[in-house]
Amino acid sequence: MSEAEARPSNFIRQIIDKDLAEGKHTSVHTRFPPEPNGYLHIGHAKSICLNFGIAQDYQGQCNLRFDDTNPEKENIEYVESIKKDVNWLGFQWAGEVCYSSDYFDQLYRYAVELIEKGLAYVEELTPEQIREYRGTLTQPGKESPYRDRSVEENLALFEKMRSGGFQEGEACLRAKIDMASSFIVLRDPVLYRVRFAEHHQTGNQWCIYPMYDFTHCISDALEGITHSLCTLEFQDNRRLYDWVLDNITVPCHPRQYEFSRLNLEYTVMSKRKLNQLVSEQLVSGWDDPRMPTISGLRRRGFTPASIREFCKRIGVTKQDNMIEFGSLESCIRDDLNENAPRAMAVLDPVKIVIENYAADTVEMLDVANHPNQPEMGSRQVAFSREVWIEREDFREEANKKYKRLVLGKEVRLRGAYVIKAERIEKDSAGEITTIYCTYDPDTLGKNPADGRKVKGVIHWVSVSQGVPAEFRLYDRLFSVANPAAEEDFTQVLNPDSLIRKHGFVEASLTEAQPEFGYQFERLGYFCVDNRDSSPESLVFNRTVGLRDTWAKIEAA
């Protein structure tokens, strides 16, 4: 496939192709405009891949612009996390990071321009009255008694707002458009409000802050954005976007195009809801591996490539949709199946004692890191008289379908020998404590000489050479597909979304780097937790299982 063919095609790229062909633009300039009021989530990744992806493919530019007009809800921790997440996803913004707050002076002058043109006025109705006067979808709004103030009076009052002469809620600046418009956003929208709040970029320089609809279009125009891409809920706001730019003196008039948001089953995607999960300590933080945040997915073991691949697979349309959680998982599974080295771990250990194996011997076995990628090499795995196996890999009795260890029968230990279970020891509660076995010394890397067949292969870890580890197994954070539709989404959390196990890993894993994925043979894909793990006390996160067991559960 040529590079051009590998590019995704969607209605936005078609618009861009047409604009370039018609000479409307000679280059493409997009932007990703997060509000720094939370951490980025997988929905933002869709927007990031779209905006930065277009810039990459068209040799254009994409700005990272913080849409920072709500100082009370924003802070610098969010700014830093967003920069980090965008970079981690593999993208670099053009030039310096931009902030809407960089333009506060210019925005103020544009507001003055609107006032001078008789297109904006200082409102002194209370916020409740403003709401009342606005009307509804079926009823037109009512004009404010302050609507027809003179330009001079408005200029003086706006200056008074700026210099702290009004308390919050006492006055605001409104555009003078049309109180009867069928688009409620055009019913004299508020452009500026009074807020005595310290801003993370501008400190206490301002006590009036511009509203999103006024700020966004002007910021786009000042940055020379050609295509301003946002989600469908801003469709009506496009009228206001264009009205503002049509009525002030800006260098260019970018065009806004809307696409549908990403919704993912079994999770919530709004920052407000995610923030609530964090602040009510229903999760361990924004980067809890169960969160749909970029930092959570990263901590869980998702790779940037897998998230970009996911965004490519879901595409960009105007249709509202709900994506199955399994499609995100299959992207990381495909990546790790190909690229993750194999290793052995036992999550729920029971001890095997191989009675005919010398007690003081430790044998180093050479085991391939990947079954079909020889270039990934091999590693040394210690074998000894005592090994751990998975409790569920042994049964006292079983039919032929059970291809693991059964009392009196044989099984192969992966990369090592064939063993036979001879007898077991139980504690007073009836729980098996030890399985005594014998091994066939002539089966290392080859089948038994007498031709008998040993079908099952199980994984194991040496008792004396293995290392203890905690394993965190994650499941859906919510027990219903669309928690946002619930009256209280915190009531439908999945109580089993995190299960902790304590077992052992082969010693080579003490050198595992955080976030780097391994396939633990027969168990799934795991990575070292980037927060709670240390070489002395290993913690592994299960990124995803080996197969999509969820689809089967759903079907049943």
123 or 265, CB closer to ligand ATP?
265
Cα separation of 417 and 180, whole Å? 83
| Shortest Cβ 38–ligand ATP spacing (Å) | 6
Greatest alpha-carbon pair distance for the chain in Å reads 104
- The token duo for 437 is 């076995």
Two tokens, residue 221: 């125009």
Q: Is 67 annotated as a binding residue?
A: yes
CB 42 within 8 A of CB 278: no
Taking CB within 5 to 8 Å according to partner kind, which of ligand ATP, Mg ion, none is near residue 65? none
Burial of residue 6, with CB atoms counted within 10 A of its CB: 0-12 exposed, 13-18 middle, 19 or more buried: exposed
Looking at beta carbons only, is 67 or 288 nearer to Mg ion?
67
Q: Toward ligand ATP, which CB reaches closer, 292 or 524?
A: 292
Helix (H) or strand (E) holding 279: helix 271-279
Q: Any known ligand binding at 262?
A: yes
Quote the least distance from Cβ 33 to ligand ATP, whole Å.
Answer: 5
Residue 210 vs 517, nearer CB to Mg ion: 210
| Interface size with ligand ATP, residues (CB under 6 A) | 15
Residue 234 CB, shortest distance to ligand ATP, in Å, is 7
Catalytic residue among 7, 35, 195, 395: 35
> Is 42 marked as binding a ligand?
yes
Q: Least distance to ligand ATP from the beta carbon of 299, Å?
A: 19
For ligand ATP, the binding residues in 115-144 under the rule CB under 6 A are none
Residue for token pair 């927060």? 531
Catalytic residue among 134, 195, 261, 522: 261
Q: Is 255 left (phi over 0), alpha (psi -120 to 50) or beta?
A: beta
Q: Is 43 annotated as a binding residue?
A: yes
Decide whether 37 or 438 has the Cβ nearer to Mg ion: 37
Q: Which of residues 64-83 bind ligand ATP (CB under 6 A)?
A: 67
Nearer to Mg ion, 43 or 503 (CB): 43
Q: Which does 270 bind (CB under 5 to 8 A by kind): ligand ATP, Mg ion, none?
A: ligand ATP
Alpha-carbon distance values, 67 to 198, 207, 269, 294 (Å): 16, 17, 19, 19
Site membership for ligand ATP, residue 230 (CB under 6 A): yes
The least CB distance from residue 291 to ligand ATP, in Å, is: 12
- The string of DSSP codes covering 330-362 is HHHHHHHHHHPPEE-EESSEEEEEETTS-TT--
Long-range Cβ contacts of 416-420 (<8 Å, 24+ apart): 416/365, 416/381, 416/383, 416/444, 416/460, 417/383, 417/441, 417/443, 417/444, 418/443, 418/448, 418/454, 419/352, 419/354
> 212: annotated binding-site residue?
yes
* For ligand ATP, the closer CB: 247 or 490: 490
Q: How far is the CB of 78 from Mg ion (least distance, A)?
A: 12
Q: By rule CB under 5 A, what string of x and - marks binding of each residue 8-47 to Mg ion?
A: ---------------------------x------------
Q: Which residues from 234-273 bind ligand ATP, rule CB under 6 A?
A: 261-262, 269-271
* 22 contacts: CB under 8 Å, gap ≥ 6: none
The nearer residue to Mg ion, 38 or 349, going by C-beta atoms, is 38
Helix then strand then coil, % of the chain, to nearest 5? 30, 25, 45
Residue nearest to Mg ion (CB): 35
Q: CA-CA distance, 56 to 48, in Å (whole number)? A: 12
Which of 309, 363, 264, 341 shows the shortest CA–CA distance to 521?
341
Taking the complex as a whole, how short is the minimal distance between the CB of residue 329 and ligand ATP, in angstroms? 18
> Catalytic one among 271, 308, 385, 412?
271
- Give the footprint of ligand ATP on residues 19-58 (CB under 6 A): 33-35, 43-44, 46-47
Residue 271 partner contact from ligand ATP, Mg ion, none using kind-dependent CB cut-offs of 5 to 8 Å: ligand ATP
List, in sequence order, every residue forming a beta bridge with 30; answer none if it has no partner.
62
Q: Are the CB atoms for 41 and 274 separated by under 8 Å?
A: yes
Q: At residue 48, what are phi and psi to the nearest 5 degrees?
A: -65, -50
Task: Dump the DSSP string for 36-83.
Answer: SSS--BHHHHHHHHHHHHHHHHTT-EEEEEE----TTT--HHHHHHHH
Whole-angstrom Cα distance, residue 202 to residue 98?
A: 13
261 as an active site residue: the answer is: yes
Chain positions 429 to 458 lying near ligand ATP, rule: CB under 6 A, are none
Is residue 270 annotated as involved in ligand binding?
yes
Known catalytic membership, residue 83: no
227 assigned binding-site residue: no
Bridge pairing between strands 410-413 and 418-426: antiparallel
Residue 89's identity, in one-letter code, is L
- In the bound state with Mg ion, the residue whose beta carbon lies nearer, of 30 and 47, is 47
> For residues 261 and 43, is the Cβ–Cβ distance under 8 A?
yes
Q: Pick one of ligand ATP, Mg ion, none as the site partner of residue 415 (Cβ within 5 to 8 A by kind).
A: none
- Distance of closest approach, residue 211 Cβ to Mg ion, in angstroms: 12
Question: Footprint of ligand ATP on residues 482-501 (CB under 6 A)?
Answer: none
Q: List the single partner that 43 binds among ligand ATP, Mg ion, none, CB under 5 to 8 Å by kind.
A: ligand ATP
CB-based contacts of 55, cutoff 8 Å, min separation 6: 28, 29, 30, 61, 62, 94
CB of 32 to Mg ion, least distance (A): 12
Using CB atoms within 10 Å of the CB of residue 446, give its burial: 0 to 12 exposed, 13 to 18 middle, 19+ buried: exposed
Q: Which residues bind ligand ATP (CB under 6 A)?
A: 33-35, 43-44, 46-47, 67, 230-231, 261-262, 269-271
Indicate the annotated binding residues for L-glutamine: 67, 212
Residues annotated as catalytic are: 35, 261, 271
Indicate the annotated binding residues for ATP: 35-37, 41-47, 231, 261-262, 269-271
Indicate the annotated binding residues: 35-37, 41-47, 67, 212, 231, 261-262, 269-271
